A and B are shown apart, each in its own frame.
Chain A
Amino acid sequence: MERTPRIHARIYERNVPGSTEKLAASSVGIAGCGGLGSNAAIALARAGIGRLILADRDLVEESNLNRQSFFLSDVGKVKVEALASMIAAINPGIRLDIHRTEVSPGNAAELFAEADLLIEAFDRAESKRWLMEAWCRSFPERPIVGASGISGIGKSSGIAVRSSGNIYIIGDQETSMEIGLCSARVGLVANMQANVAIALLTGMEI
């Protein structure tokens, strides 16, 4: 069997020049591994991130499958474990730290202490807010990439990246999950979160 570094080099041979080494040296925390977190994690893994710190307390349910990166055969499994298996199947060289736990205002800084950047991938608006507050209080110099307004269908051009300081929020800042969630629009925002994270970590333009 080939050694991992050679596999690694071939996986990333189509990457943007200069990005692979920077991403390989970077750690990203993912708070919540649902529609946003699972899809952002897969994008970061394919891009060649060196380390992912995944946290979520839930099990995979059938109702997750319309937008989250899991399979029917994952139903009943621990989300962070199912996601870790998928990432390892893309590239076993990615370091994974998985926490099957509820992220809270009290443990967020500790869980993600070694992350260079945090992806906020919660579903409740109140949780989004306290996570941003906890992160900025503990690591004001490190970026947090959140999402707000990801629901419904269409309206692609309403999704934007808005930022202030080290806070980046992607979405339309309006649509709420009560109107329903669709794979394409959730995935669009999740991939934009990953895209912003990759740009920040590689020093490229957002």
Chain B
Amino acid sequence: MITVNDRDRIGWREGMTVEGLMKEMGYDYALITVTVDGVLVPEDDYGTFRLRDGSRVVVFHLAHGG
């Protein structure tokens, strides 16, 4: 089981990546940044970063403005 934002529970599958999880959850890549177990995953690694069963994923939405 993967936990997303301390709220959503998603079933874990062997070989599951950050990219796969984001597609499953319908997130838009252009406007998010993601941590897995407290470590930031660079966008370039979304397709290769494997989630383990029990991973805690946090998805931050990034909005323009400063």
Contact = CB atoms under 8 A, between A and B. Distances in A.
Interface of A: 32, 34-37, 121-126, 128-129, 132-133, 136-137, 140, 147-151, 162, 164-167, 169, 171-178, 181, 186
Interface string B23-53: 0000000111101001110110000000000
Contacts of A177: 63-66
Main secondary structure of the interface of B (DSSP, over half): mixed
B66 A129 contact: no
Interface string B5-35: 0000000000000000000000000111101
Interface residues of B, number: 18
A34 B63 CA distance: 16
Contacts of A36: 66
Given A136-B40, A164-B35, A167-B40, A126 B60 contact: no
Given A129-B43, A136-B39, 14 more contacts: A36-B66, A124-B66, A128-B33, A132-B33, A133-B40, A148-B61, A151-B65, A162-B60, A165-B40, A173-B62, A175-B65, A176-B64, A177-B66, A181-B65
Interface of B: 30-33, 35, 38-40, 42-43, 58, 60-66
Given A133-B40, A136-B40, A174 B66 contact: no
Given A169-B60, A173-B60, A34 B40 contact: no
A122 B66 contact: yes
Contacts of A123: 64-66
B65 A176 contact: yes
A2 B8 CA distance: 59
